[in-house]
Structure 1
Amino acid sequence: MLAGELSPTAGHLAIPGSVGYLPQRLTLDTDATVADLLGVRAVLDALARIEHGSTDPADFDAVGDDWDIGDRCLADLAAAGLHGIELSRRVGTLSGGQTVLAALVGLRRSRHDVVLLDEPTNNLDRHAREYLYDAVSAHASWTPTLIVVSHDIELLDLMEHTAELHTGSLTVFGGPYSAYREHLEHQQAAAEQALITAEQALKTEQRQQVEAQTTLARRLRYAKKTSPLSDVRRRS
């Protein structure tokens, strides 16, 4: 719903600002270009038309102050380890890691208010992972609201909150994944200790009941033996 692919069945969804999205199926769009991944295709196309003589105000509006956007994009790609990749190159000619990394560069450039990352490190090598870790770390200049779905514990440990969706229930914990796991382990240990304590209390209660019943039975037998009626029966 945040990405705009689904609509809520009830209520309203309000998003403060723009949303960027890195889907898992990104590599399937093989005809997309690196410029598309960076989100600058429209500006580059407008620049190309101006260079070929266009005087359309719409083209100049599209470019704005970004006359050197091509060079800046190539510099950003190189900083991420993607040296020598042309902006016109198609996704179908890139590796999965190159595609994801270029898209991450594009998300950083776009300055979205909210960014959704769906398993972003699946296709990344160690260098590319380090780029992402640095980008989302607490000291980074990239500061959108990040919502990350991942099996990468190192990435999850860079998050400020952990949310777990299980059997239709959402649990939100104020801390990174490792702290959440430790919290769960403490809860489980406490629950197991509570169960042991309860079982011991039950056994003690059952033993006390048996002892009480045994004592009562002995007293009843003793009372029968010492009652006057028993003495009369023995004499008769």
Structure 2
Amino acid sequence: MTDILMPKATAVWLVDNTSLTFEQIAAFCGLHPLEVRGIADGDVARDIRGVDPITGGQLTREELDKAQENSAYFMKAVVSRHAELMKAHKPAPKYTPVSRRQDRPDAIAWFVRNHPEVTDAQISKLLGTTKATIESVRSRTHWNSANIKPVDPVTLGLVGQLALDELVRKAADKKAKDDARKGGATLQAVAAPEEPVEPEFVPEERERRGAEPTAASVFGTKE
């Protein structure tokens, strides 16, 4: 189903001016049937003015009459030129001036030497080059390999410093996540230092004395 402009305003007009079912209006406007019922009850889109899809070129009178005659028929919107213009378009590939294209191999060599974590796809998108050219620079099979030397792409004027920093940061973050997912380098636990063992206390033996002293041995005898 082709998206239409101002779907709620169109649904308001269809509710007020046709005998279509809620399901038919919902399918044409890209809304939920309960939302269309809310419009009919005045609970939804109360302040929205209805827009005639026939006058706006989004619906033909024949389609409307056919749908009103058959409640099982769902209307098809007319392809609108405005709707086509509103669709998001894929951005054009990065354009590099002819005068700068000869500098791209030098920038590629700089990435290969200084930031191997940046993927070929990221380099290709940033510099507007091809993966084949990147591989030829890396393997030194490029036709001008003898004259290629690594040069910062910012210095060459191929990219801004902010864009380069952002690219390198994203590549580094992705590499860190991949390494963590694969297990990465594990740190060995440091053994705790052994506590000094105190020697067991052994009481010293008392010197064995001879016989018990007597008064005679202490004071002597009278002769």
Name which one, 1 or 2, has greater alpha-carbon Rg.
2
Structure with more of its chain in strand, by fraction: 1
Structure with more of its chain in helix, by fraction: 1
Give TM-score scaled by structure 1 length: 0.23
